[in-house]
Amino acid sequence: MGKGDPEPDDVYNLSVENAFQRNLQAALDGAVEYSIVVGGVSTRGWKHLAAVLSAEKRLKDAESILDFTMEEAGDMEKLDLLKLKAVLQMAQEQPKQALKTCSNFLALIRAQEKSEQSKTLLKKYETEAWQDLASVYGKLGSWSDAETCLEKARSICFYSPRGWNETGLCLEAKSLHEEALIAFFMSLSIDPDHVPSIVSIAEVMMKSGGDTLATAKSFLIDPDHVPSIVPK
């Protein structure tokens, strides 16, 4: 790097800031510049480039970048890349491909459990992987499989806003509106700003009316009711 050339971290940080501000062309230019400056050897740079491309709706290009990056990434880095790849495949309405990616994600987690990697981080990844699988099965209309995945996720992390929201979606798919609302409110009790659960509550309320809301709230007053809403 010559004197006066920008520092790689400065280029990267500016690109990330532009992405947050939805200045996508500037973010894309910065992501490409960063990759050039570091000689194309930064996993975080390629991951950021894929994220910017996906924001521009260039989902296939973003997925290709991830596939290229995974060839050189370490195992822990691959976990992040596989998770993002599954999200991109779902956005492209490719649930079967996403299912395969999530399965690969779980297999890699299992392999890492034998190493000395952070157990806390691996538990987080495994919880998210089961939740991702539940989402995929939900898209495929296979609610029993989705529920099985959510049970696996809850066994690892019971207090997960996303997990309770996904549980609510499974219950709502079975027309169990009150139970679904309880699950959504459980999610909000863990994270009051969990937007998907707020949206889910609004959608259920529009379908079923205000009486359901009162019943759901009465259930939440007594925490002993909570296990009864978990799908069997």
- Same domain for 165 and 107: no
Tell me the pTM. 0.62
Q: Rounded to whole angstroms, how far apart are CA atoms 58 and 56? A: 5
CATH code, domain carrying 26: 1.25.40
Residue 51 tokens, joined: 């994220």
Task: Write the CA distances from 130 to 83, 117, 155, integer angstroms.
Answer: 11, 20, 11
| Domain of residue 53, residue span | 1-73
Q: Provide the number of structural domains found in the chain.
A: 3
Q: How far is the C-alpha of 213 from the C-alpha of 205, rounded, in Å?
A: 7
Measuring CA to CA, which residue among 96, 77, 76, 98 is closest to residue 87?
A: 98
Q: Are 47 and 81 in contact (CB under 8 A)?
A: yes
One domain, residues 19 and 42: yes
Q: What is the pLDDT along the chain (232 residues), one digit of tens a residue?
A: 555 567 888 999 999 998 888 888 999 999 889 888 887 778 888 888 898 898 888 989 999 999 988 888 887 888 888 988 988 888 888 888 988 998 888 888 888 776 656 777 888 888 989 998 998 888 888 888 999 999 999 999 998 999 999 999 999 888 888 888 888 888 888 888 888 888 888 888 777 665 555 555 554 444 444 444 455 4
**Three-class SS state of 222:** coil
State how far the Cα of 143 lies from the Cα of 173, in Å rounded to an integer: 8
Distance CA 231, CA 163 (A): 12
Q: Are residues 86 and 149 in the same domain?
A: yes
Question: Using CA atoms, how far apart are residues 174 and 141, in angstroms rounded to an integer?
Answer: 11
- Of 2, 29, 25, which is closest to residue 11 (Cα–Cα)? 29
Looking at the structure, tell me whether residues 63 and 134 fall in a common domain: no
Distance CA 180, CA 209 (A): 13
Same domain, residue pair 47 and 25: yes
